Structure 1
Amino acid sequence: MSADPVALCAHGEAAWHAALYSGLGARWDDDGRLARGYRAVPHYLLFGAVTLSPDATVPGDVPGVVCDSFARLRLPGREAEPTGHWMIRDAADRGTPTPVPGLALHRVASDADMAWFEQLIFLAADGRPPTRPGEMHPPGSQGFPGAAWLYAELDGVGVGTAASIVTSRVNNIGAVAVLPAFRGRGIASALTEAAIAMAPDVPATLSATPAGRGVYRRLGFTEVGRPLHHHPI
């Protein structure tokens, strides 16, 4: 892998935000050094900017949290917190998914599927449903170029989600979440491998939570850095 792996992870994170900002009708620009939003961040779980190079300059009018991908910046008026772990799997590393009996994986193909995906991811992430329909993934989000939104059902019961945002450089994996009662059965691994399979010929990147790092290591991902999140004071 010739490219800087942290830069690839940052590029993937920016592509993820481009998809979500677009779905929410908000502006997101990428100049190759900084990817950013304007005015208000359209959802509290999203960043206001992602740095794409170590020497990126972050203007003072960037809203919300700044993801300092290379953990190098000091930003006046913001407090830095190390959060998440950049991880990457080279395209040459091909996983061998372990079958999960009764598990069916589906790709979102309609607005109704998108609503079901959103219901599942919110419940799996923190145990509560969306506060309103289309809170983060409104109707039509499934049509964003390069995006694949996946949901899993175990014996007909919705249990988890994953997503893939593909660019010419990476396949960024996100939204991997499984309902608590169904964890530990290999469902997250199956969802991750299915998302990677959307574009197996480019590196797969993601930002892992502490709880997810072990799962991704077992799938062949390598940790390459830890970004800083700069929160407005």
Structure 2
Amino acid sequence: MTDPIALCAEGEAAWHRFAYDSLGSGWADDGRLARAADTVPHPFLLGAVTLTPDATVPDEVPGIVCDSYARLSLPGRRAEPTGHWMVRSGGAAAPVSSVPGLSIRRAETDDDVVWFEAVAFLAADGTPPSRIGELHPAGSQRQPGVTLLVAEIDGEGVGTALSIVTPRVNNIGAVAVMAAQRGRGIGSLLTEAAAAVAPEVTATLSATPLGRGVYARLGFTEVGRPLHHHPV
């Protein structure tokens, strides 16, 4: 396997390119640093991701800098560890038990994207989007390499996941389950559904402390913990 940190950084940068493109903002990548071309279009998004251990970050980079290798010292910024980068080799899959009545489907239409975003926000922290298309505008589902997934039980949205595929990685994100439905294995099923979009390449993700154990049971291995450098 290629340097697993590099793969995780590539996946993170791919997700940001998707989000920036969806929101009509510029995202540049020179092979060492992926970064906002001008401004950061949403508070959930980073301003830059280091792709190699020798990457440098210009002072004018806006927003939060993800220091993938946790090596940088950036004057004027406050660093804190965030997330747990995990990987699983291509071809691997974990057996997961079904949940009665659960279906997982792709967002195919613009209305599906509205539904995906609403479920994703509510499942993450109980707060709905501030407006339709806040982070995932109409047409997001048509970007190359992008798959948005919604889990439903009897028409009720219970969770989400997404997959962003590059030639080397399948970056899995937005795995979130409604609070009332947690503990049933829905998050595991969503993760496996996202991984199955491109099972032949390495799957990468950033786990919360709560999710680390779930992903470990699915065969993911923790490979690092990046630093986020916040402007002060």
TM-score interval for Structure 1 and Structure 2 normalised by the shorter chain? over 0.9
In structure 2, C-alpha distance between the alignment counterparts of 1:156 and 1:185, rounded to whole Å = 17
1:39 aligns with 2:38: yes
Q: What letter is aligned with 2:178?
A: L
In structure 1, C-alpha distance between the alignment counterparts of 2:143 and 2:210, rounded to whole Å = 29
Match of 1:105 in 2: 104
Count residues with an aligned counterpart: 232
In structure 2, C-alpha distance between the alignment counterparts of 1:128 and 1:16, rounded to whole Å = 22
Match of 2:90 in 1: 91
In structure 1, C-alpha distance between the alignment counterparts of 2:186 and 2:21, rounded to whole Å = 29
Match of 2:66 in 1: 67
Q: Any idea what SS the aligned residue of 1:55 has? A: coil
Q: Any idea what SS the aligned residue of 2:171 has? A: strand
Q: Any idea what SS the aligned residue of 1:32 has? A: coil
Q: How far has the Cα of 1:100 moved from its partner?
A: 1.1
Q: How far has the Cα of 1:177 moved from its partner?
A: 0.3
In structure 2, C-alpha distance between the alignment counterparts of 1:97 and 1:155, rounded to whole Å = 21
In structure 2, C-alpha distance between the alignment counterparts of 1:156 and 1:138, rounded to whole Å = 22
Q: Any idea what SS the aligned residue of 1:36 has? A: strand
Match of 1:56 in 2: 55
Q: How far has the Cα of 1:76 moved from its partner?
A: 0.9
Q: How does 1:106-121 map to 2 (within 5 A)?
A: 106-121=105-120
In structure 2, C-alpha distance between the alignment counterparts of 1:126 and 1:95, rounded to whole Å = 27
Q: What letter is aligned with 1:194?
A: A
Q: What letter is aligned with 1:215?
A: V
Q: Any idea what SS the aligned residue of 2:157 has? A: strand
Provide the aligned C-alpha RMSD in A: 0.7
Match of 1:201 in 2: 200
Q: What letter is aligned with 1:186?
A: G
In structure 2, C-alpha distance between the alignment counterparts of 1:58 and 1:222, rounded to whole Å = 28
In structure 1, C-alpha distance between the alignment counterparts of 2:183 and 2:130, rounded to whole Å = 28
Match of 1:164 in 2: 163
Q: Any idea what SS the aligned residue of 1:172 has? A: strand
Q: How does 1:22-37 map to 2 (within 5 A)?
A: 22-37=21-36
Match of 2:174 in 1: 175
Q: How far has the Cα of 1:90 moved from its partner?
A: 0.6
In structure 2, C-alpha distance between the alignment counterparts of 1:92 and 1:201, rounded to whole Å = 5
Q: How far has the Cα of 1:156 moved from its partner?
A: 2.2
Runs of 4+ in 1 over 3 A off after TM superposition: none
In structure 2, C-alpha distance between the alignment counterparts of 1:198 and 1:91, rounded to whole Å = 11
Match of 2:134 in 1: 135
In structure 2, C-alpha distance between the alignment counterparts of 1:22 and 1:98, rounded to whole Å = 36
1:63-104 CA distance string (max 9 Å, x none): 100000000000011000001011000113222232111100
Instruction: Give the TM-score normalised by structure 1.
Output: 0.98
In structure 1, C-alpha distance between the alignment counterparts of 2:107 and 2:154, rounded to whole Å = 18
Paired residues of 2:124 and 2:176 also in contact (CA < 8 A)? yes
In structure 1, C-alpha distance between the alignment counterparts of 2:197 and 2:32, rounded to whole Å = 27
1:102-141 CA distance string (max 9 Å, x none): 1000100000000000000110111111001100000000
